[in-house]
Amino acid sequence: MPLRSYLRARPAMWALPVTTVLVILYVRSWPPADDEYGLSHWAHGLSTVYLLGPVAAGFAAWELGRLRAARVLEAPNVRSPFRVAATPLLAVVGAAWLAMLVAVLAVGVTGLPPLTLLAAPFGAVLALTAVGALLGATTRLVVAVPVAFLGSYLWMVLPMGAEPLWLRHLTGHWSSCCVIGTEVAPEATVGALLVDLAVVACCGLLLLRRRSAVVAGTALLVLAVGAAGGVLSVRHLGPDPVRPRQDALLCRTVDGVRACVWPEHRARLTEVSDVAAAAANAWETYGLTPPTAFTEGVSQAPAQVTFGFRGDATAADLARSVSVAVLPPFPACAATSPWPAYDLQPYLAAWLVAATGLADPFPGTEPAVRDTVSALRSRPVSEQATWAHDAVAALAGCDSAGPAVRR
């Protein structure tokens, strides 16, 4: 029976389903980077490439090692050696890709991901399979399989804890992608794909003409160019392969205060905009100038502030979030000189929340903050306004320790 023979001859066909069970265990036991963001679910499922890629590399080495031991590739064939080698390798790659998609389904994804996210892990499987195939075709099975498996595994996991931080983007193992305000940076995809394509081309050239110095030199040149291109593409990225999200925000204006949220928080837009407007009105009674817009995206103007919340946040959580958002940002001078007002932040944050009247300002705060702000709130509005103005001014610079009312 052809199918039975095929399955018996291809250990990847029965071993990769076992690996699939393991990766399902993996994705189900560890939450995505942001469990309310569809892209994060996809990235979580696709991060199983760190295990499936090395397994595919090991099986590719096994398959090509068998062909090498039987001298099949050197024998006169009706089909070209490339096609003979490609048949088992395509089965390995296909099984690994399928296992990755099963892991994605196990996470519970919705919608389709961008190609920028899909391309890198799928390309990584292809590249590692090519490396395994080259090892299998050139060295003994006893060495090729463990070296392909272990080497690929270390390539996948070592950069995660190594510097420079952008090195990890080249592997296609993007487990830290993406929180709700970010999306995959195209540069990361380009970098990973350049490395993958260079590896595939290098291995392909070496497989086709192993004993030619010219081909070997060309293959190494291709690899070096691909690696350099990959590095140039990702080297300006931080620890995550992301950029600010480009989607359209959903906005609503209440009493001149605009609130903008990501589509995932569409259901909370009305409540958020009401809370933002109520908070802004409350702060105005103390003479403060509230922002004109609260956005989950990147702030585009000084009068806009960035805030964030989870989809299951309560109204009190929203009030705390918009209050913390209006704290003065870290001043530039603090990078080079002392910032005496830094410890005012929790006091001002608690006062801002209390001033909105929408939430308990003190859950989890230190007793000193709670006592001080409680005492402050019992004073006349004018005194509170003066304190708040002084605190905001002090936090915005490095010249003053701010009002004495603390601790």
Nearest distance from C-beta of residue 160 to another protein, angstroms: 5
The reply on whether position 71 binds another protein by CB under 8 A is no
CB under 8 A: which stretch of 47-55, 124-132, 290-298, 362-370 binds another protein?
A: 47-55
The residue within the footprint of another protein, chosen from 142, 213, 214, 404 (CB under 8 A), is 142
The residue within the footprint of another protein, chosen from 29, 110, 246, 336 (CB under 8 A), is 29
The reply on whether position 163 binds another protein by CB under 8 A is no
The residue within the footprint of another protein, chosen from 42, 122, 149, 174 (CB under 8 A), is 149
* Kind plus residue range of the DSSP H or E element containing 146: helix 141-157
230 phi and psi angles, rounded to 5 deg:
-65, -45
Nearest distance from C-beta of residue 61 to another protein, angstroms: 10
Nearest distance from C-beta of residue 55 to another protein, angstroms: 9
Bond into 398 cis (ω within 30):
no
* Residue with Cβ nearer another protein (136 or 403): 136
Side-chain-side CA neighbours of 131 within 13 Å: the count stands at 28
The residue within the footprint of another protein, chosen from 147, 190, 206, 344 (CB under 8 A), is 147
According to DSSP H, which parts of 235-334 are helical? 269-284, 315-325
The residue within the footprint of another protein, chosen from 9, 25, 224, 267 (CB under 8 A), is 25
Distances (CA, A) of 403 to 150, 363, 380, 389: 60, 24, 16, 9
Residues 6+ apart with CB under 8 A from 113: 38, 39, 42, 43
Tokens in use for 48? 């199983």
The residue within the footprint of another protein, chosen from 58, 88, 290, 346 (CB under 8 A), is 58
Q: Are the CB atoms for 339 and 333 separated by under 8 Å?
A: yes
According to DSSP H, which parts of 10-48 are helical? 11-29, 38-46
The reply on whether position 239 binds another protein by CB under 8 A is no
CB under 8 A: which stretch of 146-154, 331-339, 347-355, 375-383 binds another protein?
A: 146-154
The Cα–Cα gap between 317 and 33 comes to 21
* Amino acid code (one letter) for 309: F
DSSP string over 323-354: HHHTSPPPPGGGGTS--TTGGGHHHHHHHHHH
The sheet carrying 250-254 orders its strands as 250-254, 257-261, 293-295, 304-306
The reply on whether position 50 binds another protein by CB under 8 A is yes
* Residue with Cβ nearer another protein (29 or 378): 29
The reply on whether position 86 binds another protein by CB under 8 A is no
Nearest distance from C-beta of residue 149 to another protein, angstroms: 6
The reply on whether position 70 binds another protein by CB under 8 A is no
* Residue with Cβ nearer another protein (142 or 214): 142
The reply on whether position 26 binds another protein by CB under 8 A is yes
* SS3 of residue 53 by DSSP: helix
Binding site for another protein (CB under 8 A): 22-23, 25-26, 29-30, 50-51, 54, 58, 65, 140-143, 145-147, 149-150, 153-154, 157-158, 160-161, 175
